[in-house]
Amino acid sequence: MIGVGVVFFVVACGLLVGLLIGEKRENPRLTLAFKTPLSCLFVVTAVLLPHPLAWYYHYILAGLVLGLAGDVFLAIPGKTTFRAGLAAFLAGHVLYVVAFAGLTTAGHWATPVHVVIIVISVAVFLWLRPHLGDMLVPVVLYVIVITAMLSAAWVASSGPHVPAAGSWAILVGAAAFYVSDLFVARDRFVRHGFVNRLVGLPLYYCGQFLIALSTGLVG
């Protein structure tokens, strides 16, 4: 399994470099050619791992597949495909929330960390608000759901029923995903530029691969 993991890591790094080259050249076909197999890899990673908690694996796998669909949609230029990608990621985050929340109990949700997460998300929304136009409602929903996802990941990672390796995979994966979405939002609504992809894409794939790995580390 370690040898397979090394091969996956090398292949993923190569595909990520190709993806960034496609983004730098603003070539949608080249971007899609590298992005699709790279996103397929985090789905395959989850499938190949042992699944100590079958219900958790199924929720995460469904979320990863929706992430793959969202990646394909976002790689295709156009407002309609952007909305479709946003919807796919929104649904994927809901599934992650359900999966992470299933590892927790209700009494663990009231912590100072959750207040900090909410404050950060409100600040992000206020930053984006002047630029949203007719995307206001979808973005509000997305901010709410991704805030819930990171909050659920924090509770799950700090709970007594998740091994240390699984805790780190969940928390760091969710946090990387959250931050990567800030760069997607900045690129789409505030200031378009390659730097958003240069920072955001590695964070996004780090997040998705860690969440995929958590399916084999929880239970």
Closest CA to 210 of 136, 155, 153, 133: 153
Q: How many domains does the chain have?
A: 1
Identify the pLDDT of residue 163.
86
Full-prediction pTM beyond 0.85? yes
Expressed as residue numbers, the domain containing 169 is: 2-214
**Alpha-carbon distances, residue 85 vs 91, 96, 125 (angstroms):** 10, 16, 19
pLDDT of residue 30: 93
Asked whether the CA dihedral 80, 81, 84, 85 is positive or negative, the reply is negative
Rounded Cα distance, 26 and 19, in Å: 10
User: What phi, psi does 103 have (nearest 5°)?
Assistant: -95, 5
Token pair for residue 105?
Answer: 């109990």
Mean pLDDT by runs of 10 across the 219 residues of the chain is 69 94 92 95 94 94 96 87 90 96 74 90 95 91 94 86 88 96 93 94 96 91
Q: Which residues contact 65 (CB under 8 A, 6 or more apart)?
A: 43, 92
Helix, strand, or coil here: 109?
coil
Q: What pLDDT does 4 receive? A: 62
Question: In the structure encoding, which two tokens stand for residue 42, read together?
Answer: 């985090």
The per-residue pLDDT for 1 is 54
Is 219 a domain residue?
no
Residue 110 domain flag: yes
Does any domain span residue 18? yes
What's the confidence (pLDDT) of residue 162? 82
Residue 185 DSSP label: H
pLDDT (0 to 100) of residue 32: 93
In a domain, 189, yes or no: yes
